[in-house]
């Protein structure tokens, strides 16, 4: 079960089980959670795509009273999120959900550019490997998120400067999504960004 302190600090990973198969909350998770908690209204319908341990959905449920559910392909991630109190569906992104089902969609995708010869042969590698350009999950997310967003809905995505955020935002614009960077955090080899997307007029 994912545990955190009252101030949203990241739990100690050594105390978590299945750390080799489920992505555990780290600096990127906390940055995204902090930004979303600060900017959304209470009580909204929220989908956490690639929920992993359920950390983000749990914080949204606890701190904004959101009706937050998770979705993940990894069955062990689904189990961890469920044990953390998150309603969770095993599935591929948006396939299991009806049109306009959510007010908010959030995602901390795998964003690290990965050499083409590196195979995705386990769940943890899938959770970390973003494909050759770091956008193997980012682009499909932007392709499909508009369908499940309710009128006036908003999506939040964690990106890295290694992922080419300008290119990502241009890709989103081609799909009718306006975007703005609402939070950022510098690290030695990259900057992490939280980008908010809204369907344009």
The answer as to whether 4 is a domain residue is no
Q: Read off the pLDDT band of 114 (50, 70, 90).
A: confident
What would the pLDDT profile of 5-53 be if each residue is shown by its tens digit?
A: 444 544 433 334 444 788 788 899 999 999 999 999 999 999 999 999 9
Model-level pTM? 0.85
What would the pLDDT profile of 174-194 be if each residue is shown by its tens digit?
A: 999 999 999 999 998 899 999
Judge whether 47 and 97 are in contact, CB under 8 Å: yes
Please report, for the domain that includes residue 172, its CATH number. Answer: 3.40.50.150
The answer as to whether 6 is a domain residue is no
What would the pLDDT profile of 127-169 be if each residue is shown by its tens digit?
A: 556 567 778 899 999 999 999 999 999 999 999 998 999 999 9
The answer as to whether 122 is a domain residue is yes
What would the pLDDT profile of 101-112 be if each residue is shown by its tens digit?
A: 999 999 999 877
The answer as to whether 9 is a domain residue is no
How many domains does the structure of the chain reveal? 1
Q: Read off the pLDDT band of 116 (50, 70, 90).
A: low
SS3 38: helix
**At a CB cut-off of 8 Å and minimum separation 6, what does 86 contact?**
48, 51, 54, 57, 58, 61, 68, 69, 70
The answer as to whether 16 is a domain residue is no
Strand pairing category for 177-187 and 88-90: unpaired
The answer as to whether 3 is a domain residue is no
The answer as to whether 112 is a domain residue is yes
Quick one: which H or E segment has residue 175?
A: none
The answer as to whether 165 is a domain residue is yes
pLDDT for the residue numbered 21: 81
Parent domain of 101: 22-199
pLDDT for the residue numbered 107: 96
Nearest to 48 by CA among 33, 63, 35, 38: 33
């Amino acid at each position: 079960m994912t545990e955190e302190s009252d101030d949203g600090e990241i739990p100690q990973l050594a105390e978590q089980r299945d750390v080799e198969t489920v992505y555990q909350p780290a600096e990127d998770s906390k940055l995204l959670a902090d930004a979303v908690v600060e900017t959304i209204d209470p009580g909204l319908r929220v989908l956490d795509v690639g929920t992993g341990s359920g950390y983000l959905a749990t914080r949204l449920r606890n701190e904004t009273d959101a009706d937050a559910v998770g979705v993940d392909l990894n069955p062990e991630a689904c189990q961890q999120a469920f044990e953390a109190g998150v309603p969770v569906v095993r599935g591929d992104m948006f396939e299991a959900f009806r049109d306009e089902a959510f007010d908010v969609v959030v995602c901390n995708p795998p964003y690290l550019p990965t050499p083409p010869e590196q195979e995705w042969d386990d769940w943890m590698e899938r959770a970390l490997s973003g494909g050759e350009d770091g956008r193997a999950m980012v682009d499909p997310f932007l392709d499909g998120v508009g369908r499940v967003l309710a009128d006036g809905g908003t999506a939040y995505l964690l990106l890295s400067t290694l992922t080419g955020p300008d290119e990502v935002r241009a890709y989103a614009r081609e799909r009718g999504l306006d975007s703005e960077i609402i939070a950022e955090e510098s690290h030695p080899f990259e900057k992490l960004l939280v980008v908010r997307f809204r369907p344009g007029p």
